[in-house]
Structure 1
């Protein structure tokens, strides 16, 4: 019985670790997406400003 409980606890711990890893991966993905979007927006703004300067 004790071994069974230990095995179950180990499984639970492993599941928790996997969940944590998944959450971390998701967070990292979200951060990367946000950074990419911000960089693209900044580049677009710079290009627009350059075009406006060229026009003037």
Structure 2
């Protein structure tokens, strides 16, 4: 676990959105996803559950 992963986790939690987190941290959305997945793998748990809302 590194500082970038923790910052990404906290920002996703606060903004509740991967794309907005990417914009806020000047990253791509896949980079945010990769950081969260790496952290989930290191902690061996799911940190966020994604749900699809009806349009």
Specify if TM > 0.5.
no
TM-score where L is the length of structure 2: 0.31
Q: Report 1 or 2 for greater relative contact order, CA contacts < 8 Å, sequence distance ≥ 6.
A: 2
Which structure has the bigger radius of gyration?
1
TM-score where L is the length of structure 1: 0.30
